Amino acid sequence: MQVYAWMVYYSPCWPKAVADIRRIREAHHGELQPEVQRQKFEAWERGQMVSSAGFLLDFSHAWNLPSGAVNLSRSVLQAEEPYLDELVAASWPGFPGGTNSRITACAAASRVHGVLF
């Protein structure tokens, strides 16, 4: 399994990752367009979506995901590739939710503890 450094830092849980990919699909009505992505979603949201796309791709061999979800995840990573570091950084400290965030909920549910480096 390929693990990106930013994914160790922030890894979404399965239901939220699928929900993020669905939000992207619904926003674009077809092929992903980077300008639409930037207009419709804030940087912190795009960072969460990038993390979700990477998460789904890394585990796509273990789960029976629809090919559309896998292809869209690849498209998201390719479209956002120039901004990956900034987007993931934006998604971590300032997103709404505080202690009720999905990171806290997913970490508690999976008994995985975050690694800060």
Q: How far is CA 102 from CA 13, 59, 82, in A?
A: 8, 19, 25
On the question of pLDDT at 113 being above 60, the answer is no
Ordered by start, the domain boundaries in the chain are 5-110
> pLDDT, tens digit, for every residue of 38-93?
999 999 999 999 999 998 998 888 878 888 889 999 999 999 999 988 898 888 76
Q: What is the pTM of this model?
A: 0.69
Tokens 């930013």 label which residue?
Answer: 6
